[in-house]
Structure 1
């Protein structure tokens, strides 16, 4: 039945967006995590990439996480001459996390998760309707 395939596709979408939310939460939690020495790097933002994969058993395409990678964009710099991680000029490297970007990504992931949940709810309702007709 096609509705069972729909449930699997939507569940895969929810799982992928759940992973994305976890990574975004990690980025937000570490937005202020700086190193303790000048030689150490601060927290580096992580990004999630998706891929389309054929589920041969069901004969449908599903989304899944392709990779959770580190964002290679440059770190920020902040003038803190008394900090243990300050360089000879008094600057500390800060994480490459932009809280506004993380919040926007989080909202997008939340909406995608909710859309997949609505698909599951609609499929479930249709299945229940079919079962009630057959009784």
Structure 2
């Protein structure tokens, strides 16, 4: 794998990790979003990663799509909520905060690792240019 391939592959990972971070932060920020029981709950977003040119050793990764969580959510009794139905229920998203925090840490670590790879490959490329110039 050449230096440019390393930079391209790691850069594609940075992009996917950033989308993953965006999706997780959106899920966490909407974890307490109440809706009427007649409406769909907020649907969690999950990034689907897809290999580019799988099997060739080059190409990296891309966002293959976004999967949505359950629109059914869960019913919670909260009679003080202005959106509550006659029985005092509201529809809440079916999102587990601890799972989202784990996803957040994984996406953050992946983002950091891919950025470090880009930095190291760029440094190696600069050194290779310096060697070619006889410096």
Q: Which has the higher strand share?
A: 1
Moved over 4 A (4+): none
How far apart, CA to CA, are the structure 2 residues paired with 1:70 and 1:9?
A: 27
Residues 11-90 of structure 1 aligned to structure 2 (within 5 Å)? 11-35=11-35, 37-54=36-53, 60-72=58-70, 74-90=72-88
How far apart, CA to CA, are the structure 2 residues paired with 1:105 and 1:38?
A: 28
TM-score by length of 2: 0.86
How far apart, CA to CA, are the structure 1 residues paired with 2:104 and 2:74?
A: 22
Structure 2 residue runs of 5 or longer lacking an equivalent are none
Q: The residue matched to 1:54 in structure 2 has which SS?
A: coil
TM-score by length of 1: 0.86
RMSD: 2.2
How far apart are 1:38 and its partner, in Å? 2.8
Q: Across the two proteins, how many residue pairs are aligned to each other?
A: 132
Structure 1 residue runs of 5 or longer lacking an equivalent are none
The answer on whether the counterparts of 1:34 and 1:41 sit within 8 Å (CA) in structure 2 is no
